[in-house]
Structure 1
């Protein structure tokens, strides 16, 4: 097995190899492994750094975003010199400088039902570092259909979770998967992602490192991994708990009577895109035309006060938590456009006002303020 490694690699991995319960055998498994990391953001940053440093021989990275200055509070893979560049390219350069003995493949794409199986099939383990439910369910289902291990992690404000799904057990069966825990996606707009709800910058470093550890354990077989368990961590109290995850006979993809046999795109269920949601929409271009042509409209920005101070396009700032109490400040005799960062909170505001106060004149800014700034190429700050 030593012939698989150059002298430089043997020196680099010496601290692994001299561990009695790890040794050259486990290091060889890492070198031969193929790991796909979906998302090169907060979780993906520590996962990629530690997997590359550990000697995972083949790493794939799926991401389609660019580095933004608002990322740097938590995405330690990047520096200010990479702002505006593709994350996959910046990540690849950083990882190759960290470990030139590994192979890195990059996929500058959004993972969706048409490409997920084709990408995932070439890997042994998938590390899901996404922050949205559509991709999370897509990754899970692709792993189940292809028989791949899915090392899952998620973060939200001060809390994190880690688990290992669909792992091949010693008896030849597969462990529980994400749908055993959460059988179906949440309703549209019900749950905000990290860009909406925020996250303590150091939390993805903690949880992502645990996720990388579970990838290494799943590949090498050392220790006891989190298959069949959900680990949770509260950064404020520094408390952690482990919950057992059992197979659900009603799991729609792997239960007793499965109903899912192919991938679909889940945006319509999870509210990640607002195109099919039951509220009236206005595109950034349409809103801009209304503004420049003097249309009689009212803008209501439902973000928090501090967000409004960072960047806004005018209008009245009424945070989502105050929207019901401030309903009488919202016009009923003209078009009212509700605005938030990405279009999630504004949809919640519209639904509340329509259901409780019978508003009929509300429009959601499609994609939120960040899409408005991006699509119209405005010289305004993002966050």
Structure 2
């Protein structure tokens, strides 16, 4: 794109409301028209960010996304439509189509690809600023490393449930001080089982909208030469309580393997990010494997067991609000968060905290012993073990729950804990196709 040196009358009319801002002016608008911004992710963060950048007249906007539009995206990913979801458009092309209708003077470059260490450098090289609008740890490391190695400021955002956050990495201020990269703050990735995305934890659509708009705002300031507010600062937003706060971040770390004094990550040796993080960037519904095969049961096996009316207990460890969407008959609800609290109490004091749901489970197990003519505490009994099955949405929390129950629930009666592999979504796909999926 040839750099513009002046504004035509159409541009003056279109951008007049920001042109008259002293911080923007004609010079700032020309900078915007000549700027190239790369947005990685055309989802809940990327859509509003792209929309406002195009509205402001950013000359070239690249959009990287490998995924397709789904109906479940539409409550937060505001560039997409029902029609394009039904037709399974790629998110990058769907976003580009909407942005071209908004501002035909902007060059929108849809890049339908899974960003990885083999293509990141080629994709990033032509852009001035990068926006991280992804929802996974693996991509955050890759994007941050690539921005450091190509010397580009990175505007990073995240949103989950009712909360969002934003910061600017790798920005050099007027004093010549370059801020930290993502690795400076997070040198070691968290365990995969501890990471929650909006598919698992949910998100209110307005929150990524707010964070995405702020990502656009910080990007516009960088382009026109205003120091971004969240260089070496973290913006934290709580939509449920309606408040926000700013957290001061530590500076660039000399020990960082990417931007430090003795960096080991270089242009020609980007690491294997999937191996480093323990999960892939495209693991939207990452499946954990923390139980042995004999500690799990398929939904088809469980269905056959129910048809034979075999005695068992079924525990649903989802949050109570999810029970209204779908559930299996005669399940008892013990939310995974309560089981985690039970586990924490055992670790801290060696004593289990009492919950009504746990008491109910213990009573059911005791009743089973009594019904089978065996006294509680009769360890020499030949009584078969009572199966206690655990179910969740996808089969991840149920595995965690089995581990906790095996460790924390001390029963005098013989019992065996197993989880339903694949959870309720496997049940909906394989057993009852009328069950709601979410």
Inter-partner Cα distance in structure 2 for 1:337 and 1:113: 41
- Map 1:183-202; keep pairs closer than 5 Å: 183-202=187-206
Normalised to the residue count of structure 1, the TM-score between the two structures is: 0.83
Match of 1:251 in 2: 256
Conserved in 2, the CA contact under 8 Å of 1:63 and 1:88? Answer: yes
Distance 1:70 1:239, change over 3 A: same
Inter-partner Cα distance in structure 1 for 2:103 and 2:318: 42
Distance in 2 (CA, whole Å) between partners of 1:106 and 1:281 is 43
| Partner of residue 13, structure 2 | 11
| Conserved 8 A contact 1:232-1:241 | yes
Report SS of the residue matched to 1:185.
coil
1:123 matched residue in structure 2: 127
Gaps of 5+ in 1: none
SS at match of 1:217: helix
Going from structure 1 to structure 2, the CA distance change for 1:292 and 1:377 (only over 3 Å counts) comes to closer
Match of residue 277, structure 2, among 269, 272, 282:
269
Which stretch shows the higher mean deviation, 322-331 or 2-11? 322-331
* Alpha-carbon distance between aligned partners in 1 of 2:430 and 2:224, rounded to the nearest angstrom: 46
Q: CA deviation at 1:211?
A: 1.0
Partner of 1:320: 336
Structure 1 residue 337: Cα displacement: 6.7
User: Does residue 365 in structure 1 map to residue 365 in structure 2?
Assistant: no
Scaled by the length of structure 2, the TM-score of the pair is: 0.73
Unaligned runs of at least 5 residues, structure 2: 343-357, 369-383
Partner of 2:158: 154
* Alpha-carbon separation, structure 2, partners of 1:63 and 1:373: 28
User: More displaced, 164-173 or 294-303?
Assistant: 294-303
Name the SS for the 1:114 alignment partner. coil
Contact 2:385–2:416 (CA<8 Å) still a contact in 1?
no
1:307 maps to which residue?
322
Which has the greater radius of gyration? 2
User: Contact conserved, 2:5 with 2:30, CA < 8 A, in 1?
Assistant: no
Aligned residues: CA RMSD: 3.6
Which of 92, 112, 115 is equivalent to 1:108?
112
| Counterpart check, 1:133 vs 2:137 | yes
Q: CA deviation at 1:154?
A: 1.3
Query: Higher relative contact order at CA 8 Å, sep ≥6: structure 1 or structure 2?
Result: 1
The answer to whether the 8 A contact 1:67-1:78 is kept is yes
- Give the corresponding residue for 2:233: 229
Query: Residue 279 of structure 1 aligns with which residue?
Result: 291
How much has 1:137 moved relative to structure 2? 1.9
Deviation larger for 89-98 or 222-231: 222-231
Q: Distance in 2 between matches of 1:27 and 1:138?
A: 31
Kindly indicate whether residue 234 of structure 2 is the aligned counterpart of residue 218 of structure 1.
no
Q: Deviations over 1:168-199 (max 9, x none)?
A: 33455632111222222111211311222222
- 1:64 is aligned to 66
Contact 2:68 2:91 in 1 (8 A): yes
Asked if the contact 1:188/1:277 (under 8 Å) is kept, the reply is no
Residue 258 and residue 365 in structure 1: after superposition, are their counterparts in 2 closer, same or farther (change >3 A)? farther
Instruction: Give 1:240's match in structure 2, choosing from 230, 245, 257.
Output: 245
d(CA) in 1 for partners of 2:123, 2:390: 38
Question: Does structure 2 conserve the Cα–Cα contact (< 8 Å) formed by 1:335 and 1:363?
Answer: no
Farther off after superposition, 30-39 or 263-272:
263-272
> How many residues align structurally?
380
